[in-house]
């Protein structure tokens, strides 16, 4: 089976990360899919229309598409509310982001920036966005280093420059408590 990418994306997702004084934490990503969701309201809540996250095409080239609509299936989702624990099992960080299928790239880049590069939350989130969703390598217009972009092109990457506002937010444990940050562009 092959997945396809013809499920439409709409900007109606949000994420929040919370850590309280007791160290209890929440990473919550929620979406109604498109503006006003299904446009049906029940007891003051708008119902989502997540069924549009399924592929609109059930078959392609005579083969069933993996993300097709069928009973008992959940639609493809890139939501990635994330908890990171240290080696002792203590909560180290809480993060997540809206952003449709770019969420995975946003969250993964932030985790690498914090854990591997040792960046503080604000610096990690402020890094220029880059990602690939099985096509052109997407880089954030006006913020991605041009010398790195040229090297990627030299190595055969097809680049697509565009606006990439993530909505990322991140809370990291430090010696004196917790430090949080959010995407300055959101």
The reported pLDDT for the residue numbered 45 is 79
Residue 169, token pair as written in the block? 């937010």
Residue 9: the pLDDT is 52
13 is catalytic: yes
Domain that holds residue 113: 13-129+164-182
| 8 falls within a domain | no
Q: Quick one: pLDDT band at residue 55, thresholds 50, 70, 90?
A: confident
Residue 134 belongs to a domain:
no
**Is 140 among the domain residues?**
no
Cα 142 to Cα 27, 44, 74, 162, distances in angstroms: 30, 41, 37, 9
Q: Has residue 159 been placed in a domain?
A: no
**Is 7 a member of any domain?**
no
Rounded Cα–Cα distance for residues 19 and 38 (Å): 32
Residue 27 burial (10 A CB sphere; 0-12, 13-18, 19+): buried
Domain count for the chain = 1
The CATH number for 68's domain is 3.60.20.40
pLDDT at 142 over 50: yes
pLDDT in tens, 70-124: 899 888 889 999 999 999 999 999 999 999 889 999 999 999 999 999 999 999 9
- Average pLDDT in the chain: 89
- What pLDDT sits at residue 56? 81
Which long-range contacts link 110-119 to residues 24+ away (Cβ below 8 Å)? Answer: 110/168, 110/170, 111/82, 111/84, 114/84, 114/170, 114/172, 115/84
Q: Give the separation between CA 22 and CA 165, rounded to whole angstroms.
A: 32
- pLDDT score at 51: 73
Q: Does 150 map to a domain?
A: no
- CA 29/CA 50 separation, integer angstroms: 13
Residues 93, 17: Cα–Cα separation, whole Å: 9
pLDDT score at 67: 85
> What digits encode the pLDDT tens for the residues 151-173?
999 999 999 999 988 999 999 99
């Amino acid at each position: 089976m092959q997945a396809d990418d013809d499920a439409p994306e709409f900007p109606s997702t949000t994420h929040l990360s919370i850590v309280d004084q007791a160290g209890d934490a929440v990473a919550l990503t929620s979406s109604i899919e498109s503006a006003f969701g299904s446009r049906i309201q029940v007891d003051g809540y708008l119902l989502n229309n997540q069924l549009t996250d399924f592929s609109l095409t059930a078959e392609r080239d005579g083969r069933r598409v993996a993300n097709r609509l069928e009973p008992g299936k959940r639609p493809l989702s890139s939501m990635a509310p994330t908890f990171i624990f240290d080696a002792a099992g203590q909560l180290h960080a809480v993060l997540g982001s809206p952003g449709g299928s770019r969420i995975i790239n946003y969250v993964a880049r932030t985790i690498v920036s914090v854990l591997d590069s040792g960046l503080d939350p604000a610096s990690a989130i402020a890094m220029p966005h880059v990602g690939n969703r099985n096509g052109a390598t997407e880089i954030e217009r006006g913020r991605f280093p041009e010398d790195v972009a040229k090297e990627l092109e030299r190595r055969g990457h097809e680049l697509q420059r565009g606006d990439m506002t993530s909505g990322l937010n991140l809370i990291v444990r430090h010696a004196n408590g917790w430090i949080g940050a959010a995407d300055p562009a959101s």
